[in-house]
Amino acid sequence: MKDTFLSARLVEKDLIRLSVFSATPYQKFEVKLIVDDVEEVKLTSTKFVSTPNSMMFDYRLDKPLPLGHSYAIALVGWAIIPLDMSEVPTFPSFNEAFYYDGDDLGATYSKEETSFALWAPVASEVTLKFRKRTSTRWHYHPMERSAKGVYRLTIKGDMEYAEYLYIVTNSGVSRVATDPYAKASSPNGESSVVLDMSRFNGIPSNEEGLSRLNSYIDAIIYEGNVRDLTIDPHTNIENKGTFKALYQEGCLTKGGHPAGFDYIKSLGITHLQLLPIADFKTVNELHPEEKYNWGYDPQQYMVPEGSYASDVLDPECRIRECKEMISSYHKAGIKIVMDVVFNHVYDYVNSSFEKIVPNYYFRKRATSALSNCSGCGNDLATEKQMVRKLILDACKWWIDMYRVDGFRFDLMGLVDVETLNLIRDYARSVKPDFMLYGEGWNMDQETRVPLGKMENAKLLKDFAFFNDSFREYNKKYLTHDFYHNGGYKYALMGSSMTYSQIHAKWDDAVQSINYIECHDNATFFDYITKELGDTPTLENKLGLCSLGLVSILISNGVPFIHAGQEIGLSKFGKDNTYNLGDSFNQFPYDLVDERFDMVERFKGMVNARKTSRLFLTSASKDFASYVEFDDLERSVVMTIKNPITYPQFKAVQLIVNPTFHLVTKRYDEPVTLLIGTAGDVSKANFQMETVMVNHCSCIMVGIK
């Protein structure tokens, strides 16, 4: 047989295709279908195609081949080979026939018994493998197939803390998989764990004191990473790099300034967006110091990341500390946005998805090759019903169990619109002001269903999008590429009004996430260094960094700040530091001590943003009636008529000066200084006819 290769595949519900590749002359043979290693059914070819070294035989069956059985093809006198069932999930009727809408997938615990349910419709056999907490012995129990291809088993007795796995047999191949619906895990996702989730009910959500978000533009989002925000040795934070560290109170820098939880509280932000906190693959949870990763390599969607637990060997520790972290921020008046990665997994071949239902969970090109628009080797087929259900169930779990307040969708342009809107519907039914936003890049050209890209903003009215135009126009104008003066003004309007021949991205600035840097871009400080070289002094570079924050906070839309931006964070010229370690990524608390004046200015501008609601509306149709732009030397002047938060003035005027020299503007009548470099100064009632705007700064005045 070394010169002969055989393949048998179910290519339609009732059609088997046998392929023979051989260097030897054709010999007639008898073919039989073997069912469950017992029944034999003789097959008669209905089609035969031959080439010099290959033959293809089609065998049409009397009726569709039912799933849940093992099948093999016997070439009598030659060989017996498994029947490949991997095409079954692509059959047109598959989703309708096997969609399961129940809420009992995974392990359902009670002290008396635990029920296990796994959706594996193509599998011929599933075995539950488990061991109790006090035992090293594994037990093996076959599961029973039920409707919609769900395999079930109930184990009597108290199974809490038991580790379990599924042995799933597809097309004659058995693979060991964790539970896609697992809520708890052993270290590194080696096995799923049964837990009584009611034991966490005593942790308060502390949501009663949270302010209602009336509009996204009332949010101020601060993006950070659990590890990065707490790992710096320049503080007395304990359990560094963990959930617990991120809500430890009373921590200080070596210079005596607030650190960690107290520092974040002091900023005045409304939302803390955390880089992925669901379980990811490439950090060894037993030794997280060995390897660094941001976590955009998902492994388990419903389990918190173990490297962020103070005791990863205790499966309930990561759950408890994650809930306590969110609870603590709620108590401080800060909402938590969770960065979710539903566009790919770390390793599709060894993912539980591919092991359990081969050829189902991942998107394919027209050539049948895996779609790789994510750049990670695979794209999740979110439009398929059971993939959509898994994603929606994961979102429900994080909302109901952990009480998160928003989702930031990584590469949202690869997630289909229907799935996103179903997430919206559920999230808003629980929390009416739940935030939903993501990266709406247009990355997929083959998927036929509408995806969550910016071009589909009208289909996603309750979603905001990272505004790359805002980012680029701000960076260019503020680093003295004054050709982009018009683009900067367009950005100040949240890209929701056509201006300077640049077309609006959306109808309402509420859909614009206004940012200059985030975790996967070069920091603005490094961009300034790259563009302007050694020309500006350090003082001027830091001044431009602060002015970038001011631009975000005075703009129409949703302000988004990357942790460290307020102190001129540098990543030493690197723009994608996802695996480069703490030295590139940690929040530098020594700079908080050195540049605390920048922190104070940032806090002042955050407060000014909250108190100075400048825009009458976020809808573009009204801008032209009350917003005007002008130029003053190289500075931009924005005039807003009839400001709602300053009714005593007929207009307010902002002057943004990114140059390295003083800019002066004279008025016919005295104007009142409302916002200066320190933030809101309106109570001081400073009046002047000549306004001087320092280099790299912005002021706002009231005009009567």
Q: If you count them, how many residues does the chain have?
A: 704
Residues 344, 182: Cα–Cα separation, whole Å: 18
Phi/psi for 300 (5° steps) reads -130, 125
CB atoms within 10 A of CB 411: 25
Q: Hey, what long-range contacts does 75-82 have (CB within 8 A, 24 or more apart)? A: 75/6, 75/29, 75/30, 75/31, 76/29, 76/30, 76/31, 76/32, 77/29, 77/30, 78/1, 78/4, 78/6, 78/29, 79/1, 79/6, 80/34, 81/6, 81/7, 81/8, 82/8, 82/171, 82/172, 82/173
Q: Provide the terminal-to-terminal Cα distance of the chain, rounded to the nearest Å.
A: 94
Residues 452, 368: Cα–Cα separation, whole Å: 23
- 538-554 vs 596-611: helix axis angle to the nearest 10? 20
Output the six-digit token pair for 178. 């964790």
How would you write 346-388 as a 3-class SS string? CCCCCCHHHHHCCCCCECECCCCCECCCCCCCCCECCCCHHHH
Cβ neighbours for 486, distance < 8 A, ≥ 6 positions apart: 499, 500, 501, 502
Residues 297, 278: Cα–Cα separation, whole Å: 10
Q: 20 near 78, Cβ under 8 Å?
A: no
**Which residue is associated with the tokens 């994650």?**
322
Our answer to whether residue 410 is catalytic in this structure is yes
Q: 385 near 413, Cβ under 8 Å?
A: no
Residue 34's DSSP bridge partners are 40, 72
Element (H, E) at 60: strand 54-60
E strands present in 83-194: 106-109, 113-119, 125-131, 139-142, 144-145, 150-156, 163-170, 173-177, 192-193
DSSP class of 93? T
Residues 652, 354: Cα–Cα separation, whole Å: 59
Cβ neighbours for 251, distance < 8 A, ≥ 6 positions apart: 235, 236, 237, 258, 259, 260, 261, 262, 263
Our answer to whether residue 321 is catalytic in this structure is no
Choose the catalytic residue: 285, 410, 526, 566: 410
Q: Where are the alpha helices (DSSP H) in 138-260?
A: 243-246
Output the six-digit token pair for 127. 């075995």
Strand bridging mode 651-657 / 635-641: antiparallel
Q: 315 near 192, Cβ under 8 Å?
A: no
Picking from 697, 670, 668, 698, the residue whose alpha carbon sits closest to that of residue 686 is: 670
Picking from 401, 437, 408, the residue whose alpha carbon sits closest to that of residue 303 is: 401
Output the six-digit token pair for 39. 């029944």
Choose the catalytic residue: 84, 416, 439, 593: 439
Secondary structure of residue 75 in the 3-state scheme? strand
**DSSP letter string over 286-350?**
T-TTS----S-SBS-SSSB-GGGSS-TTSTTHHHHHHHHHHHHHHHTT-EEEEEE--S--S-TTT
Element (H, E) at 148: none
Which residues are annotated as catalytic? 410, 439
